[in-house]
A = this chain, B = another copy of it.
Amino acid sequence: MDILLLTELKDEQRKMIQLLPDITIYDRNTITHEKYASIQVILGWNTIANQILAGPNCVGFIQTVSAGVDALPLKQLAFEKVLVANTSGIHAESLTESTIGMILAFTRGLFPMGPKPFREWKPDAKRKQMGNISDQTVLIFGTGHIGSHLASRLKQFDAKVLGISRHGETKEEFDRVGCMNQVSAFVKQADIIVNVLPLTRETYHYFDNEFFSLTEQQPLFVNVGRGESVDQVELIRALKSGRISGAALDVVDPEPLPNDDPLWKLPNVLITPHIAGSVPHFRDSLFNIFYPNLKQYVLHGSIVKNQVDLTRGY
């Protein structure tokens, strides 16, 4: 079985894979066009993978290296019954720490910060913008693994934590969870809004003019989900009009954000370059998902962990 590693693994991890029966490993350096048609397993996703899927192929299992699978041709994969696994779960702590750091950057008077030109000793101006998380109501869009982990950390700070999910199922990490048609009442209460939703047809440009017009507390808007879930023109309008007091964005549309994008110039926007989900010891965490999946796929044609529902898209 030919497998293609588009993400680097450790030497000992490659050796473990080699011990599986009849495996030939290809990577970015060794793959050739002639071999595209025989690849059955792909780890990672890039233009090579796209090209393989575009031609005659026998790919049966794709292991992504991210929680979101929106870059993949999901319809085609569903039609061809390709198994897809993501890395959902391993990013939760990183995304949670980045989100809380972003919130505290605003609520504790840290932002904007850095050397010149932000040198200023203006305690009174800073104090006016400050608050404690314990006094805030945080509304999280997405109550899956990441949203729930973030909620539990925010509860440790004594925040009030609300959630929105497709069906509004109760979750112990949240004070209350609403479904999509209850959004209006939830948004009105929010001091901080966080998006961790996956990108799907339903969430594309979900945060639009209609959404931002619901805010009443001039909330901070944090996006660590996907940039395309936000109508960025309307986000900028909401920032300028004061419908929201600030934005912390790890994801934007497009990425990388062009140097002349107006978002860079707004004084109340904190941007990080899609790094919030970065995981220490990533290759170990990835291998803990990929290896059991690969072994099962080689032996039985199925996978055991993190299978994506291709019709839902997550």
Contact = CB atoms under 8 A, between A and B. Distances in A.
Interface of A: 93-94, 97-98, 100-102, 104-105, 107-123, 126-127, 130-135, 153, 156-157, 255-257, 259, 264-267, 269-276, 278, 280
A138 to B, nearest CB: 14
Nearest to A103: B101
Given A121-B273, A123-B274, A97 B264 contact: no
Contacts of A118: 112, 114
Given A113-B270, A273-B126, A264 B101 contact: no
A273 B123 CA distance: 5
B101 A132 contact: no
Scoring A121, A157, A257, A271 by chain B CB atoms within 10 A of each residue's CB, the highest score goes to A121
A130 B275 contact: yes
Nearest to A259: B119
Given A101-B104, A104-B100, A257-B121, A109 B275 contact: yes
Scoring A104, A113, A265 by chain B CB atoms within 10 A of each residue's CB, the highest score goes to A113
B110 A267 contact: no
Identify whether the interface residues of A are mostly helix, strand, loop, or mixed: loop
Scoring A93, A134, A275 by chain B CB atoms within 10 A of each residue's CB, the highest score goes to A275
Contacts of A101: 101, 104-105, 107-108, 110
A130 B259 contact: no
B115 A264 contact: yes
B102 A110 contact: yes
15 contacts: A97-B108, A100-B100, A101-B108, A102-B110, A104-B104, A111-B113, A112-B113, A113-B270, A113-B272, A114-B270, A115-B267, A122-B273, A126-B272, A126-B275, A127-B278
Given A123-B274, A131-B280, A157-B153, A108 B116 contact: no
B97 A132 contact: yes
Contacts of A257: 121
Contacts of A267: 114-115
Contacts of A130: 275, 278, 280
Nearest to A119: B264
Given A93-B132, A115-B265, A105 B107 contact: no
B157 A97 contact: yes
Contacts of A120: 273
Q: 7 shortest A-B CB distances, which residue pairs?
A: A101-B104, A112-B114, A121-B256, A119-B264, A123-B273, A101-B108, A121-B273
Contact of A98 (B98, B108, B270, B274): B108
B264 A134 contact: no
A135 B282 CA distance: 13
